[in-house]
Structure 1
């Protein structure tokens, strides 16, 4: 079991639909949160909504290599981390340009690895780390090869991180939800999304994530959201 009430969680990607939903669920459960996202304006709005539960807001652009360390320096000791930042791109590999590839890997993978490296000394014993991957980590999809690869690499990193941090009592949960109605597909950094079925409700996905944190679960595959 993980205690939520009174504990301090860093939420990365808090200005996104899913990140914001997780932050709300944590606060509802009594947590204190530090919020980070690219949009300073959206961070202010979310902080006003969540009130005194917000310890700090940290605007940051994760495409900048120094941003993860700056976030870690600003947030202090932590009882948990939620990494809900991400970007998506569509199209065949033959049309994949370097700029798109770099941003996919920077935001979906590299920034997370850099952030973990920076915050490990600040994570208290019995902390929980949530890394939001995607169903494509389990089922790589044509037209999303680079995105699928970035999420599969994130999942692999999390499995190794679990082994490295278990003596510190840190639990890493790799979350691989099915398509969720976050609007991310409409903000693709390249290409256009194919026709997709109705996705999961982000509030329900966030609720399931926080329940897993509390209940001591160690993995959340796509099937966990059925």
Structure 2
């Protein structure tokens, strides 16, 4: 079990459909939530901004006990029609910035562990990391890259007392698909309820779970 009461958690992508719900759910369980989002002027593709956000969170609250990375962008279309700029943006936001957050948060989370708490990182690679989807080739690849990094990094971070949990829900009913950086969304099947997805993720944090495959939703 991980105690969320009083835990300081930074939620990245906190203005998004899922990030906002995860932040609210964490607060309902007593966590102190710091929010970061592109709408707040935080372009986390820049490692210097990542450093600033983490430093400011630690400076304001005195520590960092958890990090939830819920930011992301999506693009639709055939693989043969992909523009280089689209691929660059997908990987910069979905993969590289998430990796940078995990890397730069390590000293803060390790300090939390040394102080006797149970620090964690949550990533949201989604079902496409397990089953890449036609029409979403580059998006699937960007999320699969993040998931692969997490599998390996989690083994290393465990030595410092830090748990990394990757969540891979199926298509969830948020507005992400309505604002792609390229292409138009295909017709999806029934969407998962974002409130239930957020609650399931926070329950997994509290219960000490180490992985949330698509079958967990």
- Length-normalised TM-score, structure 2: 0.93
CA contact (8 A) 1:14 1:84 kept: yes
Aligned to 2:50: 68
CA contact (8 A) 2:67 2:120 kept: yes
Choose which of 132, 151, 166 in structure 2 pairs with 1:159. Answer: 151
Q: In 2, distance between residues paired with 1:86 and 1:24?
A: 19
Q: In 2, distance between residues paired with 1:79 and 1:152?
A: 26
- Give how far 1:75 is off: 1.2
Q: In 2, distance between residues paired with 1:115 and 1:174?
A: 14
Aligned to 2:69: 83
CA contact (8 A) 2:129 2:147 kept: yes
> Is 1:150 the equivalent of 2:142?
yes
Choose which of 165, 173, 177 in structure 2 pairs with 1:181. Answer: 173
- Length-normalised TM-score, structure 1: 0.89
Gaps of 5+ in 2: none
Choose which of 207, 212, 221 in structure 1 pairs with 2:204. Answer: 212
Gaps of 5+ in 1: 41-58
Choose which of 117, 134, 137 in structure 1 pairs with 2:129. Answer: 137
Aligned to 2:13: 13
Q: In 1, distance between residues paired with 2:46 and 2:178?
A: 23
- Give how far 1:65 is off: 4.1
Aligned to 2:183: 191
Residue pairs, 1:2-81, within 5 angstroms: 2-40=2-40, 59-76=41-58, 77-81=63-67
CA contact (8 A) 2:18 2:70 kept: yes
Aligned to 2:90: 104
Greater share of residues in strand:
1
- Give how far 1:198 is off: 2.1
Q: In 1, distance between residues paired with 2:108 and 2:48?
A: 18
Matched residue SS, 2:146: helix
Aligned pairs, number? 207
- Give how far 1:67 is off: 2.1
Q: In 1, distance between residues paired with 2:120 and 2:102?
A: 12
Q: In 1, distance between residues paired with 2:161 and 2:10?
A: 18
